[in-house]
Chain A
Amino acid sequence: MRYDTLVIGAGFSGLAAGIRAAMFGRRVLVLERHYLWGGLNSFYKRKGRLFDTGLHALTNCGLRGAKGTPLGRLLRQLRIHPDQLQLLPQGYSELRLADLCLRFSNDPELWLENVTRAFRKQADRFLELHRTVGSLDIDRIEDPAASARAKVEAQLGDPELADVVLMAPTFYGSAREGDIDWDQFVMLYRAIFHDGLAQPEGGVRPLLQLFLNRLAECGGELRRKAGVERLLVRDGRVYGVRLEDGEEIEAEHVLSSAGWVETMGLLGPELGAAHLRPEDRATMTILETISVLDRPPKDIPGPNPLAAATVFFADEQRFAYGAPKDLCSATHGVLSVPSNFAAPASGPTAEPTLRATLMAHPEAWHTLPPERYGDEKQRWSERALDLVARLYGDPRPYEVYRDVFTPRTITKYTGHDRGAIYGSPTKHRGGATPFAGLYLIGADQGMAGIVGAGLSGATIVNLHVLNSEVA
């Protein structure tokens, strides 16, 4: 059996890559180890309830619609009509750093007003940065791997304001401790503060279904429970894969969304090891606790109503993004409240849920003895909810169900080294690898989030699979 293009992984990057290659008549097979598709953004059923993993918000969904934004570009690349996506815009979101609380919505003015009011002296410098980031050509960002922190601090002349500006983009995509790559900062700052946030109606499932339908429509195939065990190499060229059940499949191009470290692992110790450096292993990952509630979080009594769709919080003087020393760090993280996006026009409203994400240790969760694992999950989930209680009111009296996932869960379901969600701190922006015929897509190619993953798949196919057609 011979294909033109094999794609490892049916997350957003793999599905987008598959669609793009199949659209232009290539014979495509997407291979997914898991029995479900979606990767980091998937869904599962527990006690009769369906939960989404990932997907707090879809970026680029502001006042002017998706047109001209990365989401708009992605939809065009895949020929998905924007009307097929039912987007529910956020009301507003909050950013909390120490005693500061700043709001932003899909109207960028609210953010500009909030920040300039809190940082009057630096207002002009901030507005200038906001404008500059909005006007850069996203396809030609100079110095992509430079430290965004250094650039932002230099522009703003105020480290605390720099924290405010860096915080949300960092949480939404940085694989780098204490910092974020400049190009990712630009993309994510724009995605969040210029273009805005929304939830697709029904969560991640309908969105994934659009991608699956499109793949099938274009003639691309998806095989589930088909884990790739080894990449097949001859004379420095990858010519196919061997699956876990021993079947070998050959192809002209192999695109991997497994991650750099993981993909080098698939080359086997003789070939892959030479390209593995300890500093390429991921350090940033998370624990997430999901509470299903009997009432919307905004109706929980407490010091502040929890009416924000997303809360980026750092309960510390300075935002200290990094792998925690302990199993997790309960000083900063993200809250997501799906019911604080607009209500769907029709159809059922989902049960109210509250999701709290803490940064987690990349190794410690994997080495915990089984008898401690459950208790630690419970303990850190409580710590996260303590924080919610202090900021907004205690959700626990209204909880009907709770589920918690850790880096170990993420490794189990996505195969990502250390359960990392943003991949390796070293990005391979061109998508090329030391092996002909093998290309990288997804987080380790340097694009963050769902929209980024999709664009990564499409772009790398354009560059390395379809290029012979255009050239």
Chain B
Amino acid sequence: MTRDEIAIAIKDIISQIAPDEDLGNLDPKVRLRDQIELDSMDFLDIVMELRKLYGVQVPEADYKELATLEGCANYLEAHLADKELHCASNA
């Protein structure tokens, strides 16, 4: 996956968890939690879906790396380099 695809993957996961949020105008540099309503349970679910869909295990100490879309791309780039993007919605 490319960095852009990682952002798509994350947004797709969020759209599954929080279908009532508008993800159209997310700023990749701003904390997700400051742009949409995501609580700690939702956040854990992003991590769990990443594992379910792509087999990446994010240790708790690294959760903070996933705070922004850009952070997600930075952190996950290496882990997901050889993974295909597929969307949670049709997984």
A460 CB → nearest B CB, Å: 13
User: Chain B residues near A466 (CB, 8 Å)?
Assistant: 48
B36: nearest chain-A partner, CB-CB: A67
User: Chain A residues near B42 (CB, 8 Å)?
Assistant: 73, 76
Q: A274 on the interface (CB 8 Å rule)? A: no
* Distance between Cα atoms of A131 and B77 in the complex (Å): 44
Given known A79-B16, A470-B60, contact A25–B52 (CB-CB < 8 A): yes
A67 CB → nearest B CB, Å: 6
Is there contact, CB below 8 Å, between B41 and A73?
yes
List B residues 30-53 near A (Cβ within 8 Å): 37, 39-42, 44-45, 47-48, 51-52
Given known A73-B39, A73-B41, A139-B40, contact A470–B47 (CB-CB < 8 A): yes
- Which residue of A24, A76, A471 contacts B18 across the interface (Cβ within 8 Å)? A76
* Distance between Cα atoms of A471 and B51 in the complex (Å): 11
Interface size class of A (residues with CB under 8 A): 10 to 19
User: Chain B residues near A245 (CB, 8 Å)?
Assistant: none
* Distance between Cα atoms of A68 and B21 in the complex (Å): 11
| B interface: dominant SS | helix
- Which residue of B19, B37, B41 contacts A77 across the interface (Cβ within 8 Å)? B41
Q: B82 on the interface (CB 8 Å rule)? A: no
Is there contact, CB below 8 Å, between B19 and A82?
yes
Is there contact, CB below 8 Å, between A24 and B40?
no
Is there contact, CB below 8 Å, between B48 and A76?
no
- Which residue of A24, A77, A82, A462 contacts B20 across the interface (Cβ within 8 Å)? A82
User: Chain A residues near B17 (CB, 8 Å)?
Assistant: 76, 79
Given known A81-B19, A82-B19, A82-B20, contact A76–B41 (CB-CB < 8 A): yes
User: Chain A residues near B60 (CB, 8 Å)?
Assistant: 470-471
- Which residue of B37, B44, B51 contacts A67 across the interface (Cβ within 8 Å)? B37
Is there contact, CB below 8 Å, between B52 and A76?
no
* Distance between Cα atoms of A373 and B62 in the complex (Å): 62
A-B contact pairs, 25 of them (CB 8 A): A24-B52, A67-B37, A68-B39, A72-B20, A73-B39, A73-B41, A73-B42, A76-B17, A76-B18, A76-B42, A77-B41, A77-B45, A79-B16, A79-B17, A81-B19, A81-B20, A82-B19, A82-B20, A139-B40, A462-B44, A466-B48, A470-B44, A470-B48, A470-B51, A471-B60
Instruction: Please list the residues of chain A having a beta carbon within 8 angstroms of any beta carbon in chain B.
Output: 24-25, 65, 67-68, 72-73, 76-77, 79, 81-82, 139, 462, 466, 469-471
